[in-house]
Every structure is written in structure tokens, then in C-alpha cells.
Chain A
Amino acid sequence: MAERVLVAMSGGVDSSVAAALLVEAGHEVVGATMKLWGGASDSGCCSVADVDDARRVAQQLGIVHHVFNFGDDFESHVVGPYVEDHAAGRTPNPCIECNRHLKFDRFLRRAGQLGFDAVATGHHARVTSAAGRWQLRRGADRAKDQSYVLSMLGQSELSRVRLPVGELTKADVRERAGALGLRTAAKAESQDVCFITATGGREAFLGERIELRPGRVIDAATGREVGEVPAVELVTVGQRRGIAGAGAGRRRYAIAVDARTRTVLAGGEADLLTDALAVSDAGWSWTDEPVPAGTAVSAQVSAHGKPRSAVMDVGGGVRWQAPENRVAPGQTVAVYAKDLVLGSAIAA
């Protein structure tokens, strides 16, 4: 059945092909690019050049293209919390918050206002349906799978989200783009946080917004101060860099960060390991109820991390089958049953 679909076109190859596939399938397709960030950016997904690419692809496909300025929402839902999280010694994932608040909330609501049945993006993941429920699944190209960054989507969103390239490999996508003569066919992927410049990095960005304070490095075993870090707000649990001075000869890691007292707890590889992962803000993709404690799952703690076997704990956390490294507070944890996303939460 033909639908009216609003495609979020970033100016990259995946969303270009997503739009093309929907047009081919006979849907009524309109493209839109979100303008999210007006500040300095050299790796952004909403630079003028990227908007140009999205518009030119839309012209090639013969579809209407709009630009929506959601800069204020991006500031309040993504950039602001990113800065606050770092100030609190956490390690946020702004791309996930952008998906949660911008692509699959603000943009989705805008699409609804404009009378669209659904929105589409170029993510490599799949939405399927069975027995009146929507399922979010890993993309066909496991190496490019992006279900992790969509793991916060629930039934309400999934019912209105189309992911046309999820069935294709990245190579397929580029081939389709090339065959269609789309100008984005060979375009490099964006990897970095769009509002952080490669030149200044996180430090320059945060340094303009919060005070970066030196912190003491405390040895977890002895309780003794063994070193210093220039900015406690920039330390991530699991990090080795800058913590090396903390121990004699052995590899040392940040195993906990307390921004309030400006301390970083350092330990060895064994200290980094933990049996369980506590979380907050758990949400469920497939079910309305929490997945029961004791359910066998696999859990993934970074965008391209390897899923690890675990069982669900109460409150959405997991107990690892074998000890795993600690996860930096603020990072997203996605839980799966095989390739099916069950839900996600934020590491506590």
C-alpha cells in the first residue's frame, strides 16, 4: 500500500538510497533535512554542503525537499545534556540522544503534523511486524548494523518508522546509489559527533562551556593518591590514557570517576571487570512490560561493540555470563534476543 513518507535526508548515501527505494516502491515521498547545529563543525551531519547534497539528491529523484531548523531542540535535548553529563563525570552518547529527541520525536511529530504516515531514515536496521507488534532487528549487513543507536525506539515510534536500507549491505547501498547516478554514491561516512570539531575535539568544545578542573587519581587498592588528570570532566571509565602514571609498570585504567570530589579511581585490568551492569531509564522496544529478570539476552554497550551473553536483572540491568569491563556511566546499553532488540537503558 502506498504511503506518504517523509525521509530524513542527511546528505549521506544511506538516506539518499532510502529515499530512492521508497520512490521506486511507489510511495509518495518527500525529503527533509534537519538543520541542527549552527556552531563550528567540520564533521557535521548538517553542514551546508550536506544539505546541498540532500537537496540535489531530492532533485534527482524528483521529490520535494524541505529543511527544518530544529537548532533550539538540538541545543536543549542534545548539546545541553551532553555538557551537563560531562560536568557530572559521565560519558554521554549524543548521537543516541539526537535519535531519541530529534529524529524519532521532533521530526516524527513534524511528519505527523504534515500528514505523513511514516518517516524513513537511512539506518542499517530492520523493522518487522508480527502478531500486531513491531520488531526492531539488526540490519542485514552485520558489520554496518545500527540497531544499537535505535534501541530506544518503542512500539509507538516503530509503527511509524521505515528503514528501507536495512535489508541491504553497505556495498549494495553504494551500488544502488551509483546505478541511480546519485551524487552521494561514494561519499565518506560521518563517524564523529557532529558538533565537535576534529581540530578542537571534546576538550575545546567543553572547555568553552564548563570549567574543566584537574582531578586526583586514587589507587583503588591502596586509597593513595598516585597521580593527576588535567580535566576530570574528560575522563571516561575504562580509559587508560593519562592514567598510566598511576601504577608502577602495570596497565592502569580509570574504573570510576567522581566529578564532585574531582577524583578518578584507578585500577588494573581485573579491577575493571564486573559481574553486573546497573542502569537507569530502561525502555522496551518490543514489549510494553519490562523483559523479566532471568531472561537470557545479549547486551551491547557501544555502537560497534560485540554483543555479550547476559541475563536480565531487575530494573533493566544485566548480569554478565562472564565478567565484563565496566561501562562508562551515560553510555547506552542495548539488549537483544538474537537479532531482535528488546530494549535499552543508560549505564548508571
Chain B
Amino acid sequence: MTVTVYLDHAATTPLRAEVLDAMMPFFTTDFGNPSGSHAVSRAARKAVDESRDVVAECLGCQPGEVIFTGTGTEADNLAVTGSVARRPGRALCSAIEHHAVLHTVQALRGSVVRVHSTGLVDLDALTAALSPEVSVMSVMLANNEIGVVQPLDQVVAMVREHAPGAVVHTDAVQAFPWLDVAVLAAGTDLIAVSAHKFGGPKGVGALVARAGARLAPILHGGGQERDRRSGTHNVAGIVGMAAAMRLTVAERDATVARVGGLRDRLADTLQASVPGTAETGDRRHKVAGSCHVRFPGIESEALLVLLDDAGVCASAGSACASGAMEPSHVLAAIGMDRDEARSAVRFSLGSTTTSDDVDLAVKAVTGAVPYLREA
């Protein structure tokens, strides 16, 4: 039997056993709708309230500033669309945002701010794009493809200076497993996270909306989440997210040190053993789990099939609705041409990644790349 080497944690992570345990009662005995007034509801309400406290603490905000959502994508949509609806104006975002932000900004006919070849947002271009007409500026904390971390403090300072009425949103979905979001995003008005990126369940996310960041809802209905997000709470999911957050934050420093070492070894070994391998981004500005590399002369679409055959799960760019790999807007934005982008593979490590995983991945890649180059 082939061993599975899972190096696609930026796509999703396995649910942690402790998290599942914490969630289980809310599928069965404590199944209540927290919006009700009787005993069954009260148990669910308590769980949501306590989870909210945990999430607030982990994200550095007040509990009342936490809005539970269905996904990270929904949190991003609410942040951008909800801000513009409340205070009409132009939406801005960086060129390497996740589609959840990029397509939302584009749908609102907003503008995109270019990034440097390093992946860091071009602050001169940002200054030029900022004006009093801007109502929201969105810059992700860590990028999902190349792992580059943005200097949010500088972005916030520039927005405050040149677009004083605007709110700053950060998509921290990829950052949370690795970075102290509470500190790094302290200056922003809005923060989006998604539970399944850090050992929580799929189908639950959160948006922090600080007191000054007023939002119009994008989902209308029963008025849950203080009228900011209607819909019955996903109680088990919310409990799971809080449990995963608590564990992630408690272990974060140790995880970053350990996984960062594995990532360094993976990236270094690939570069040493596969001629021509080029690493994307400066590791000093990347999250610890991100190993994004190019193997000139091969197509990652073919390499991924061979790695899959060998039990190694990795990724390249983002998939469209059909499942086909789409040319990456992120790699285009940092100046890669299509051939370069086509040769790129993303290995994303996570808290469960082992030293053996790295060895097996290196073995699979060093076998497959020369094979593809000859074929």
C-alpha cells in the first residue's frame, strides 16, 4: 500500500481529534438552536458564547466584534461588500489576494494594487491608489500560494493617512496557523479566518469587525450575530473552530519552529538534488509551512499526477470549477510568465507533517522531475 504524504495543508488540514471530541455533543445531546429560550437552546448558546470568547482572545478583539460565518470566503465577502454597502466608495485590494477577496472587489468594480516581484504589496502604488473615495482596502496577511507575509502595519498607516474614512480588511485565513494574527493584524478593522486551515472543521469561519468598522449584512434573515450575519449558528462548527484555535495558539511557536525546519530542509534538498529548482519568495517573509518551487522544463500538472501516483499530495495554483488548474494570478502578479508559472508546485506543510513526509516527498520529486524532463 502506498503511504499518503499530505503536503497540501494550505488547501485544508485534518480535523484534530481533540476538536472532534469537543464538537461531538453538539451533533447529538446538545443539538439546540442557540437562538431559542429553553434549556436545550441554552446549552448551545453557552457553547457559542464561550467559543466567541476564545476566538476573540485568539484574534485580539472583543467578543462582540466576532461574527461567525459559514466559510472564510463568506467572511471576506462580508468584509468587502458589507463595508462598501455601509459606506459607498471604491474597494481596493492587492493583486495577490485570494479569489474570495479579488473577485468580490472586481464585482464591485474596485481596483487592484500591484505587488513587487517579492510578492510584497507595492506601497508606492498603494499610495497612488488611495484617496478619500476609498471605502475599503483589503490586503491578505499571508498568501495562499506563495506564503508571503505582508507588512500590514505599513499598509494600515498609509490607509489612515491617505484614505482616513476607509477600513482595512485582512484575509488571515492562511496566516492563522503560523502567525500571531492578534498582534500582526492589531491595526486592521476587519480580519477573516477559516477553521479548516488549522485543524478545525470545514464550513465555519469568522470575521472580526472592530467597533468602528460598520457592516451591512450580505445574508438577510433572522438577525443572528447582531444583525450582521443571519442564519442558524453552526454550533458544532463554532465549537470546533474555537477548540482548534486554542490548540493552534498554544502550540504555535513550537509548530512554527519544527515545521519551519522541515520546510527549510524540503526546499534546500529539492534545490540541491533537482537541478534548476527555484524557490519562490524570501523565506524571511514567508509562513513556515510554505514551500513554493519551480522546476524549469516540466509542467507541474504532469508532475502532480506522478506525485499522486507516488502518494504525495501537493498542489499548483488554484483549481477552477472543473477541477482544472488555472494559470495563477498570484504568479502572474509577481512577474512570472506562463511557462514559469506552469512549472510551479506548492508543497504546504502543516502541524502533522513529519520528517518522513519530507524524505518521501523529496524522493518522489527527484524521481519524477528527471523522468518528465526526458519524456
Q: What residue of chain A has the Cβ atom nearest to residue B306's Cβ?
A: A114
Interface residues of A in 95-122 (CB under 8 A from B): 109-110, 112-115
- Provide a sorted-by-A list of 29 A–B residue pairs whose CB atoms are within 8 angstroms: A33-B322, A35-B320, A38-B320, A46-B322, A47-B322, A48-B321, A51-B322, A51-B323, A52-B322, A55-B323, A64-B308, A66-B305, A67-B322, A67-B323, A67-B325, A68-B301, A68-B324, A69-B301, A69-B324, A69-B325, A69-B326, A72-B327, A112-B375, A113-B302, A113-B371, A113-B372, A114-B302, A114-B309, A115-B306
Interface residues of B in 310-363 (CB under 8 A from A): 320-327, 338
Bitwise, A45-89 to B at CB < 8 A (1) or not (0) is 011100110010000000010111101100000000000000000
Looking at B302, B321, B322, the one whose CB has the most chain A CB atoms below 10 A away is B322
**A221 CB, nearest partner CB in chain B, Å:** 53
Determine how close the nearest CB of chain B comes to the CB of A118; give it in whole angstroms.
15
How far apart sit A69 and B305, CA to CA, in the bound complex (Å)? 13
Residues of chain A within 8 A of B323, CB atoms compared: 51, 55, 67
- 16 further interface pairs, Cβ-Cβ under 8 Å (given A69-B324, A69-B325): A35-B324, A48-B321, A51-B322, A51-B323, A52-B322, A64-B308, A67-B324, A69-B301, A69-B326, A72-B338, A109-B375, A110-B302, A113-B372, A113-B375, A114-B302, A114-B306
Among B309, B320, B372, the one with the most A-chain Cβ atoms within 10 Å of its Cβ is B320
Does more than half of chain A's interface fall in helix, strand or loop, or is it mixed? Answer: mixed
User: B372–A35 contact, CB under 8 A?
Assistant: no
Which chain A residues have a beta carbon within 8 Å of chain B's beta carbons?
33, 35, 38, 46-48, 51-52, 55, 64, 66-69, 71-72, 109-110, 112-115
Q: How far is the CA of A46 from the CA of B301 in the complex (A)?
A: 17
Number of A-B pairs whose CB atoms are under 8 Å? 41
Min CB distance, A230 to chain B, in Å? 35
A residues less than 8 Å from B338 (CB atoms): 72
- In the assembled complex, the CB of A80 is this many whole angstroms from the nearest CB of chain B, namely 15
The 4 closest A-B pairs by CB, nearest first: A35-B324, A69-B324, A51-B322, A113-B375
A109 to B324, CA, bound (A): 18
Question: Which of A47, A55, A110: most chain B CB closer than 10 A?
Answer: A110
For B321, what are the chain A residues with a Cβ–Cβ distance below 8 Å? 48
Q: Which residue of B lies closest to A68 (CB)?
A: B301
B residues in contact with A55, CB < 8 Å: 323
Q: Which residue of A lies closest to B326 (CB)?
A: A69
A28 to chain B, nearest CB (A): 11
Q: What separation, in Å, do the CA atoms of A71 and B317 have in the docked complex?
A: 15
> How many angstroms between the C-alpha atoms of A67 and B301 in the bound complex?
9
Q: State the CA gap A298–B309 with chains docked (Å).
A: 46
- Provide the residues of chain B in CB contact with A69, threshold 8 Å: 301, 324-326
A38 to B325, CA, bound (A): 12
Shortest CB-to-CB span from A47 to chain B, Å, is 8
Contacts of B327 in A (CB 8 A): 72
Report the bound CA distance from A109 to B374 in whole Å. Answer: 12
Contacts of B320 in A (CB 8 A): 35, 38
Residues of A within 8 A of B302 (CB): 110, 113-114
Residue ID in chain B nearest A33 by CB atoms: B322
Minimum Cβ distance to chain B for residue A194 (Å): 13
Assembled-state Cα–Cα distance A71/B309 (Å): 24
By the criterion CB–CB under 8 Å, are A35 and B322 in contact? yes
**Could you say which of B324, B372, B375 has the most chain A C-beta atoms within 10 Å of its C-beta?**
B324
How many Å from the CB of B284 to the closest CB on chain A? 33
> How far, in Å, is B367 (CB) from chain A's closest CB?
12
CB of A332, distance to nearest CB on chain B (Å): 28
* Complex: chain A residue closest to B301, CB-CB: A68
What separation, in Å, do the CA atoms of A69 and B306 have in the docked complex? 16
**Residues of A contacting B326 in the complex (Cβ-Cβ under 8 angstroms):** 69
Q: Within the complex, what minimum Cβ distance (angstroms) separates A37 from chain B?
A: 11
Chain B residue nearest to A35 in the complex (CB): B324
What are the residues of chain B within 8 A of A68 when measuring CB–CB?
A: 301, 324
Separation of A110 and B327 alpha carbons in the complex (Å) = 18
Closest residue of chain A to B319, judged by CB?
A67
B residues within 8 A CB of A38?
320
A200 CB to closest chain B CB, in angstroms?
A: 22
Looking at the complex, which one of B305, B322, B324, B325 makes contact with A114 (CB distance below 8 Å)? B305
Which residues from A are CB-within-8-Å of B375? 109, 112-113
- CB within 8 Å for A48 and B322 given contacts A72-B338, A112-B375, A113-B372: yes
CA A78 – CA B326 in complex, angstroms? Answer: 19
- Taking CB atoms, residues of chain B closer than 8 Å to A64 are 308
Q: Which residue of A lies closest to B317 (CB)?
A: A69
- CA–CA, A51 and B322, complex, Å: 6
Q: Which residues of chain B are within 8 angstroms of A112 by Cβ–Cβ distance?
A: 375
Interface centre among A48, A113, A114 (most CB of B within 10 A): A113
Closest to A112 in B: B375
Shortest A11–chain B CB gap in Å is 10
CB distance from A107 to the nearest CB of B (A): 11
Contacts of A52 in B (CB 8 A): 322
Q: Give, as a whole number of angstroms, the nearest-CB distance from A96 to chain B.
A: 23
> Which B residue's beta carbon lies closest to that of A113?
B375
Which residues of A lie under 8 Å from residue B325 when comparing CB positions? 67, 69
From 161 to 214 in chain B, residues with beta carbon under 8 angstroms from any chain A beta carbon are none
* A52 to B321 CA separation, bound complex (whole angstroms): 9
Interfacial chain B residues near A114, Cβ < 8 Å = 302, 305-306, 309
Which residues of B have CB within 8 Å of A71? 324
Bound form: Cα–Cα A66–B308 in Å: 11
Measured CA separation A72–B325 after assembly (Å): 12
Instruction: Output the least CB separation between B169 and chain A (Å).
Output: 29
